[in-house]
Every structure is written in C-alpha cells, then in structure tokens.
Amino acid sequence: MRIGVIGLGSMGKRRVRDLRALGHDVVGFDPRAERRAQAVELFGATSVTDFAALIDARPDALVISTPPDQHLEYYERAFAARVPFFSEMNVHLPPPAWFAAREAGGGVRGYPSATWQFYPLFGVLREQLRQLGHDQVNTVHYHYGGYLPLWHPWERYDEFYAGSRRRVAAAREMVPFELEWMRWVFGPVRSVCCMHDRRSEWTTDIDDTYLLLLDFESGLRGSLFSEVHQVAPFRTARVSCRRQSFLVDMSVHELRRYDLDTDSWRLLKPPGLRSLGSFDFEQIYRAEIGTFVAALEGRSTYPKTWADDRHLSDVLYAAEESWRQRAWVDVADVALAYDGISWAADPPPGPAEPDETSGSLVAQADPAAVRA
C-alpha cells in the first residue's frame, strides 16, 4: 500500500520506519525541510511540501503524527479527501457521533491509536485477571515517571510541543495515553479525583505532575500518576488481588505474579518470547501500525473505537474539573459538557470557584479565543 504520513517528527519518523519495514511505500509531509530530508535519507520515503501534494500522490491511507492539538484539522482534511487515516493518541477528541457522521458521509474510517494493547505484558496481565475473575481484584496503581528533557534529547524541551505548549504539555498528554491500557484491562472509569501542578522548574508555563484517583465502573479502585520531572525514568504497575499480586516493571519489561498460598513469585512471559530483558519498544509500534493496515485490507478487526478514545479524553476533562473544584467528578457528567472541538483551552493552574453564572459544571471555552 501507499501510506501518507503527516508530520515527520519523532513519532512520524517511527511510523515511516515501521511502514517501510513492513514493505509499504511512504509519502511524508512536514513543513520543516530538515525533517522531510531525514525521512528520505534514512528510510527511502518520498516527501512533499504540503498536504495538497500529499493527496495528489494518491495515498491509500494517511497516518496523522502531528502534535495532538493539530489532529482535528487533519481529521477534517482526510474526511474531505475521502482517505482513511490512523491517528496518534489524542488529548482532546470530538464525540463518537462526530466521527460516525463523517465516516458515513465520506465512506472512509478513522482509526485511533491503541499502542498499549500491543505491549505483550499488558496482554498477559489481562488474561491472568480474566482467569482469576475481576471480582478478585482489589486495586490497581500505575505510576509513569518520565523526564521531559529526555523525550527529545536532540532538541530543547521548550522547542517542541510537549514542553512548549500548556494545552498539550507532557504530563497532561500522558494521562489519556497511559490510561489507555488501564481502560483496556480494567474497563471504563466512573469518577475521578485529581490534582495537577508544577513541582520542578521549567522555562515554560507547564504542569509536570498529574495525580489521579480512579473509581472504575466495575467498582475497582485505582490510581494513575503522570510525572515528567523524574530524572530517573520508570513505569510500574501493581495490581492487588485477593490471594495474588502482580507487578509490572516496564523499565526491565517484567511481569511478576505473587501467590499467597505458595508464598512464591514467578516471572510471566508471553508465549514464544524468550527474553523480555532485551525487548524493543519498536515491536509495539510496528504491530500497531501493521494492524491498522490489516484492518484497511479487511484481514483483521481493529481493536479500538472512537468511543474508547473519547472516554480517555472524558477522564482527563473530569480530572481537571476535579482539581478546579476540589471534588470527585463523575465522568458521565462531563461527557456532554465539551465538544472536543472548541474545548482546547489551557488546563486551569489550580482550584477555582465553580461557575455560578451558568450553573454549569464546566465553563465552555470561547472557540475564537481557543483558536487564536
């Protein structure tokens, strides 16, 4: 197939690299000349200088790898051009009905990123908990600790979107991204309590810490911490069950299970994978983009819907309302409070009084101000 990739930064180049490895022709578009040159030189892609030229190249599908606050523009363009597309993870998202209407009108589909569903350890954990029964699960706690300057070590953190723009700042962006695997394994979130803040020193106005308490629809209790000031990065998850405990350590790619009855730990591995210590994250992204292409060709069913993706945005929105109001917020109460199009305002810096003039839980952003 011929795939057009929009945005040739860190993730865009990864998508080009994996698509080329899977044997596909790639046409890349990025306004920055040096990024286009890298895609050509490193991966043998073709490059163009604008979106119109990309569509003129007659791609079978598009991959949207721009910063999250630019996704909507390219969703609209892809639907108008009647070209199916894959999108990187979102921070804000229109409701599922928005996508359904455009998919029906244009006759093409969009596919949201489902990265963590392709990480082998989460698949093993999901199956382990299915066998035990989810009524045996007490709590889940997940902690992402990253260091923003290491995201793109080849450039200053305040020169790319995750460190320069508050609305898509790294710690905020990672809430829906990391929540994806938790939704997949444990189901939707019913309500949330959150605080977010800046705990370190940065040259830009960004928060670096999001701390969420989660009440899942199943009754499970949990937490999700997203921090980008941790100078020694890590990702760990702990799942407490009635007579078992699970530990996922993604720094060494290990899933361990403790059994109370035998007082023993054992290492769990996906079938056929000899060593996770040398696991390459590229395998995840290659499997993900390969599944997207397979879904386009009718060879497989894509594992995630826009409703699934919108839920992640809803939880983030509810989390920020929680901090603004210093209260637990039900996700269902905010699901209709924003359209995902005009709401792209910066997150509030701290608690504020509820909006008493409208009586609404959420004050709507001014679309003109948002897009300025």
Total of domains in the chain = 2
The DSSP letter of residue 219 is S
Q: What number of residues does the chain have?
A: 372
Mean pLDDT of 16-43: 96
Is the same domain home to 29 and 54?
A: yes
Backbone angles phi and psi of 95, in degrees to 5: -70, 160
The rounded distance, in Å, linking the Cα atoms of 270 and 276 is: 9
Could you count the other beta carbons within 10 Å of the beta carbon of residue 48? 17
Q: Which two tokens stand for residue 182?
A: 């938790």
Is the same domain home to 51 and 121?
A: no
The rounded distance, in Å, linking the Cα atoms of 260 and 171 is: 36
Dihedral (CA of 249, 179, 120, 23) sign:
negative
Is the same domain home to 349 and 215?
A: yes
Is the same domain home to 94 and 50?
A: yes
For residue 134, is it within any domain? Answer: yes
Share of the chain above pLDDT 90, in %: 83
Is the same domain home to 312 and 300?
A: no
Share of the chain above pLDDT 70, in %: 90
Q: Write the pLDDT tens digit of every residue in 322-357.
A: 999 999 999 999 998 888 887 555 565 666 544 433
For residue 205, is it within any domain? Answer: yes
pLDDT of residue 367: 28
Q: Which domain holds residue 8?
A: 2-112+288-304
Q: Which two tokens stand for residue 193?
A: 């309590």
CATH number at residue 348: 3.30.360.10
For residue 75, is it within any domain? Answer: yes
pLDDT of residue 341: 83
- Report the chain's mean pLDDT, rounded to a whole number: 91
User: At a CB cut-off of 8 Å and minimum separation 6, what does 5 contact?
Assistant: 12, 15, 16, 19, 26, 27, 28, 29, 39, 45, 62, 63, 65
Is the same domain home to 171 and 89?
A: no
The rounded distance, in Å, linking the Cα atoms of 94 and 108 is: 17
User: At a CB cut-off of 8 Å and minimum separation 6, what does 277 contact?
Assistant: 252, 253, 254
For residue 281, is it within any domain? Answer: no
pLDDT of residue 353: 44
Which ranges of 22-154 would DSSP assign to H, the alpha helix? 33-43, 51-56, 71-81, 96-106, 120-132
Question: DSSP string spanning 245-302?
Answer: EEEEETTTTEEEEEETTTTEEEEE--TT---STT--THHHHHHHHHHHHHHHTTSS--
For residue 311, is it within any domain? Answer: yes
CATH number at residue 74: 3.40.50.720
Of 177, 172, 169, 173, the C-alpha closest to 203 is 169
Q: Write the pLDDT tens digit of every residue in 125-145.
A: 999 999 999 999 999 999 999
User: At a CB cut-off of 8 Å and minimum separation 6, what does 366 contact?
Assistant: 342
Is the same domain home to 165 and 252?
A: yes
Q: Which two tokens stand for residue 14?
A: 């990864």
For residue 279, is it within any domain? Answer: no
Of 51, 40, 33, the C-alpha closest to 17 is 40
Is the same domain home to 137 and 11?
A: no
Contact (CB, 8 A) for 88 and 309: no
Q: Write the pLDDT tens digit of every residue in 232-286.
A: 999 999 999 999 999 999 988 899 999 999 999 999 988 766 666 667 888 999 9
Q: pTM for the whole thing? A: 0.91
The rounded distance, in Å, linking the Cα atoms of 239 and 46 is: 46
